[in-house]
Amino acid sequence: MKRYILFLILFAGPALRAQCPTCCCWQYDPVTFTFTSCGNQLTVGAGGIMFAVDGVGSIGDAGARRPYQVFTTNEVYAGTHLYAGPVSYMAWAGRSAMSSPVNGDILLQNASVDNFTCLKLGGITNAFGALCRAGNGIAVRRADNTVGAVGDLTACAAGLEGGMSVVTDSNTAVWGAVVGAAGANRVLAYCNGTNWTVMGK
């Protein structure tokens, strides 16, 4: 609890005074172990740090008096925006990092920020798709970073038109031909809304 109060004095105080200039004292409830600002703008207790009015009040201040780090054991939620500095990363401990080196670009990297493997869409098994790094190119693969057979393809339909997937056993390698199984051709298949067809070989 002492850490809570020190945190509030150092970081929340300026923002609270901007909202309520008279909120410079605290009331303590020894039963609930709760501190409440005199103007009832902020409560610190078992429920955490809570503002009396949703969307009013800040921790720190724009450009100054900002906390260096905020640690949590669970999630961080944002009602509108979640910002990172222009040269900062949004990362998972020991895992991938995401940054925006220039406006309009998003950079995905590993924990060492020197490589990246796959952007997985919807899941991590071979039932889902992925875009994976292939040197300085892009590979269309399954989410477990493998390629499959024709029989593994989701049935081509209008809602999948434009889909692409690599297969290892196509019975044809003729561009535009409908892909069938039981062959030995490794091709890039394309869903035209009706059938999977050969797009590349």
Identity of the residue numbered 22: T
For residue 91, give both structure tokens.
Answer: 């990362």
Over residues 178-192, the mean pLDDT reads 97
Q: How many angstroms separate the Cα of 158 from the Cα of each of 55, 114, 191?
A: 44, 39, 9
Over residues 106-117, the mean pLDDT reads 95
Mean pLDDT of the chain: 82
What residues does each domain of the chain span? 2-51, 118-200
Residue 171 has pLDDT above 90, yes or no: yes
The residue assigned the tokens 């889902």 is: 128
Residue 124 has pLDDT above 90, yes or no: yes
Q: Work out the pLDDT band at 61, boundaries 50, 70, 90.
A: confident
**Ramachandran angles phi, psi of 42, nearest 5°:** -145, 140
The residue assigned the tokens 């940054």 is: 99
Q: Which of 14-18, 38-42, 120-124 has the lowest mean pLDDT?
A: 14-18
